A and B are shown apart, each in its own frame.
Chain A
């Protein structure tokens, strides 16, 4: 099983700040990584796939980077509506066991 580790567990930042969330894979997953945003009481929403491609309708302030084992999700200018838990998920395993990271909770300071 590929273990996905996210850091930090909680990130507190101010409105307008740049926020960087990290995700590490226990083995190389190339660029087979997606990021999701989950707001309280809602289903997750796809933000980024292929490590760096924004999903349809996702604002340009969200960007993804990395490959291999180290990945980042960056929010360039934090907005109040960005308060949520963010998850990464790998799609590299075969047979498919597409594990998630444990999540990073993003708060407004």
Chain B
């Protein structure tokens, strides 16, 4: 049974870089695309982007200039970096598996990490 476990710093100051990592248990990071989604407190879900093991990346255009995603196949992990954070980046961040070929869905989710940006 494939599971995702995520971690990263929960409190950042404005202008710092948000860094989160998600590890794949019971499966291989080489099998799928992997996505990141965030949810500001009390609000809805926002698609951040996705990456696969060969480095193909697709980013939300509104975040693209600050966003970097990577995959480490040796550790079965994938990561998210978001630079120059502001209070508007405060959210719960989720990692997820983008499953399927013709019919896509986010079928597995990490537990979520609350990231707060505050001076």
Contact = CB atoms under 8 A, between A and B. Distances in A.
Given A43-B94, A43-B112, A44-B109, A97 B103 contact: no
Contacts of A103: 44-45
A76 B104 CA distance: 25
A97 B105 contact: no
A43 B110 contact: yes
B116 to A, nearest CB: 16
Contacts of B107: 46, 49, 55
Interface residues of A, number: 26
Contacts of B83: none
Contacts of A34: 104-106
Interface in B34-65: 35, 37, 44-47, 49-50, 58, 60-61
Contact of A96 (B44, B58, B110): B58
